[in-house]
Amino acid sequence: MINCGRNIVGKKNRNTSRSSTQQAGSSRYGKKSKSSFNPDYTYVIKDLKRIAVIAAALILGLVGLSFII
């Protein structure tokens, strides 16, 4: 017989284990306000600016080389 995570003891123990599981689940997955999620993307903006500067320099270098070659 396979025990699928169920408590196969008395009815009394089964009810107490469910109530403790439900209490833990309700505190773990309680509703949170949307204001608590505040990501910080300042490093992304810095990286995008750096990529734009490098891309512009490479394009200008290619344009300059096209006149020389």
Which residue did the predictor score with more confidence, 41 or 58? 58
User: For residues 13 and 7, is the Cβ–Cβ distance under 8 A?
Assistant: yes
- Name the amino acid, one letter, at 45: I
pTM over 0.85: no
**Each residue's pLDDT tens digit, 7-52:** 555 555 555 555 555 555 555 666 666 678 888 999 999 999 999 9
Rounded to whole angstroms, the Cα distance separating 12 from 9 reads 8
Torsion of CA 4, 10, 14, 16, to 10 degrees: -150
- Name the amino acid, one letter, at 29: Y
Q: What is the CA radius of gyration of the chain?
A: 30
